[in-house]
C-alpha cells in the first residue's frame, strides 16, 4: 500500500508526492495530464471535502469512460485500487489524500477507509502550517525587494502573479506590461507570446538562466528579465517560483539631487544641477528651469567639478548616473 498527497488545479498539478515510487513518476503523471478528470478516474470521482471515495466510485466512473494512458500509469505504479479524500477545495485547486492499493493489497476495507478519514484532519493541519511558512517567506521576500526599491513581480508555481513591488507597479503601463486576470501579460501579442514562453521555461526548469526581453513605450525602453527562484522539494506552490524584474532608464525623482549632494559632498542646489545634467538637460535648459543665467550655472559647475574631482561634464554625468543607479537598487 502507498500513500499520496496531491494538490491539483484546473490546468496544472501543483504538488504530487507518492511513497515508494520511481524517479520519473511525477513527470509521467504530468505528461499524461493526470490532473484532468477525463484522464484520471480518481479526480473524476472526487467529492466534497472530507467525503471518502473508494473503489465503488472508481468503478462508476470507469464504466462510463476509461483512459488507457492513465490505466497503464496506475498499473505500473501497482495502484489501481484505493481510497481518497479531498482535504480542502478552493476556486483554483484542491488538496487530496489517498491510500493506493495494488493487486496484492486488494480493495480497501471499511476499517482502512475509516483510518484514512481519521488521518485527514492531521494532514490538513500540516498543510496549513506549510502554507503559512511559505506565505511568510513570500512576504519577507516582497518586503526585502520593496526595501531595495527593486521593480519585481513574483509569480507562483503556475505563473500567476502573486506580488508586485511598488517600483514595479510604477513601470506597468498600457503600452507595455499589465496584470490581467492574475497573469502578467505584454500588451503586444508577439511580445506576449515570447514572455509566456520564457515564464513557462522558468517554471519548468529551476536551473534556467535569466532571459531578457526588451519592450518599447512612450516613456522609453523597458527591460524585462525572467528568472526562476530556488524551490524546495516539499513546496505546495504557495511560495513564489519565478521573479520578473523590470528595468527602465533612470527617471528624475525628487530625491536624486539629495542623494547626489550626499555622495559628492555638494550643496543642495549643486546636487539638483548634477541630477538635471544626468537626465540629459543642457546648461541652457538647466538655467531656464532654475530661473538663473547660463553663466551662473557654468560657475556652479566649475565648483562642482572641483568637488567631484573631474575635468569634464561627461565624467560628472557618468559618476552621477552611477550614484543614482546605486541608490535605485
pLDDT score recorded for residue 82: 96
Q: What is the mean pLDDT of residues 90-108?
A: 89
Domain ranges in the chain? 2-131, 149-247, 256-328
Residue 50's closest CA among 5, 9, 2, 89?
A: 89
What's the start-to-end Cα distance of the chain, in Å? 53
How many Å separate Cα 144 from the centre of its chain? 15
Q: Can you spell out the DSSP letters for 149-187?
A: T--EEEE-TTSBEEEE-HHHHHH--TTSEEEETTEEEES
- Is 70 exceeded by the pLDDT of residue 134? yes
pLDDT mean across residues, the chain: 88
Task: Pick the range with the lowest mean pLDDT from 23-37, 69-83, 87-101, 243-257.
Answer: 243-257
Q: What is the pLDDT of residue 210?
A: 74
What is the percent of the chain with per-residue pLDDT over 90, rounded to a whole number?
Answer: 56
For domain 256-328, give the fold: Arc Repressor Mutant, subunit A (1.10.10)
pLDDT at 303: 95
Give the number of other Cβ atoms within 10 Å of residue 298's Cβ. 12
Q: Is the pTM of this model over 0.85?
A: no
Same fold flag, 2-131 and 149-247: yes
Higher-confidence position of 243 and 11:
243
- Topology of the domain comprising 149-247: Beta-Lactamase (3.30.450)
Q: Which residue has the higher pLDDT, 284 or 205?
A: 284
What is the tens place of the pLDDT at every residue in 202-259?
Answer: 887 766 677 889 998 777 788 899 999 887 666 666 778 899 999 876 554 557 888 8
Residue with the larger pLDDT of the pair 316 and 133? 316
Better pLDDT: 158 or 66: 66
Give the CA angle between residues 210, 213, 214 to the nearest 5°. 140
* 95 DSSP β-pair partners: 7, 88
Which of 63, 80, 114 has its CA nearest to residue 1? Answer: 80
- Specify the pLDDT at position 198: 93
What does the pLDDT look like over 136-194, one tens digit per residue? 888 899 999 988 888 999 998 778 898 999 989 988 988 899 999 889 999 999 999 99
Q: What is the CB neighbour count within 10 angstroms for residue 299?
A: 12
- Please tell me the predicted confidence (pLDDT) of residue 193: 94
pLDDT at 271: 92
CA distance 298 to 283: 7
Give residue 327's pLDDT band: very low, low, confident or very high (50, 70, 90).
low
Tell which CATH classification among 3.30.450.20, 1.10.510.10, 3.30.200.20, 3.30.450.80 matches the domain 2-131.
Answer: 3.30.450.80
Q: Is the pLDDT of residue 62 over 90?
A: yes
Amino acid at each position: 500500500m502507498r500513500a499520496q498527497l496531491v494538490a491539483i488545479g484546473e490546468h496544472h498539478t501543483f504538488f504530487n508526492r507518492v511513497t515508494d515510487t520511481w524517479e520519473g513518476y511525477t513527470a509521467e503523471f504530468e505528461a499524461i495530464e493526470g490532473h484532468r478528470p477525463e484522464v484520471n478516474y480518481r479526480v473524476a470521482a472526487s467529492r466534497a471535502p472530507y467525503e471518502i471515495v473508494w473503489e465503488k466510485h472508481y468503478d462508476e466512473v470507469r464504466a462510463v469512460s476509461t483512459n488507457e494512458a492513465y490505466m497503464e500509469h496506475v498499473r505500473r505504479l501497482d495502484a489501481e485500487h484505493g481510497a481518497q479524500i479531498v482535504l480542502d477545495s478552493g476556486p483554483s485547486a484542491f488538496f487530496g489524500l489517498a491510500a493506493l492499493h495494488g493487486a496484492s493489497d486488494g480493495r480497501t476495507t471499511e476499517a482502512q477507509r475509516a483510518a484514512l478519514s481519521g488521518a485527514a484532519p492531521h494532514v490538513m493541519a500540516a498543510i496549513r502550517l506549510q502554507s503559512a511558512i511559505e506565505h511568510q517567506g513570500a512576504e519577507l521576500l516582497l518586503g526585502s525587494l520593496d526595501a531595495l526599491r527593486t521593480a519585481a513581480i513574483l509569480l507562483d508555481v503556475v505563473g500567476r502573479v502573486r506580488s508586485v513591488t511598488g517600483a514595479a507597479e510604477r513601470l506597468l503601463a498600457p503600452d507595455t506590461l499589465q496584470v490581467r486576470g492574475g497573469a502578467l501579460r505584454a500588451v503586444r501579442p508577439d511580445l506576449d507570446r515570447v514572455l509566456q514562453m520564457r515564464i513557462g521555461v522558468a517554471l519548468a526548469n529551476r536551473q534556467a538562466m535569466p532571459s531578457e526581453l526588451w519592450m518599447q513605450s512612450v516613456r522609453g525602453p523597458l527591460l524585462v528579465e525572467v528568472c526562476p527562484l530556488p524551490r524546495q522539494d516539499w513546496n505546495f506552490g504557495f511560495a513564489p517560483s519565478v521573479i520578473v524584474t523590470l528595468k527602465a532608464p533612470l527617471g528624475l525623482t525628487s530625491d536624486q539631487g539629495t542623494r547626489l549632494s550626499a555622495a559628492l559632498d555638494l550643496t543642495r542646489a549643486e546636487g539638483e544641477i548634477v541630477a538635471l545634467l544626468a537626465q540629459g538637460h543642457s546648461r541652457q535648459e538647466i538655467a531656464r528651469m532654475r530661473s538663473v543665467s547660463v553663466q551662473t550655472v557654468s560657475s556652479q559647475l566649475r565648483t562642482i567639478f572641483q568637488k567631484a574631482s573631474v575635468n569634464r561634464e561627461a565624467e560628472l554625468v557618468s559618476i552621477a548616473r552611477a550614484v543614482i543607479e546605486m541608490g535605485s537598487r
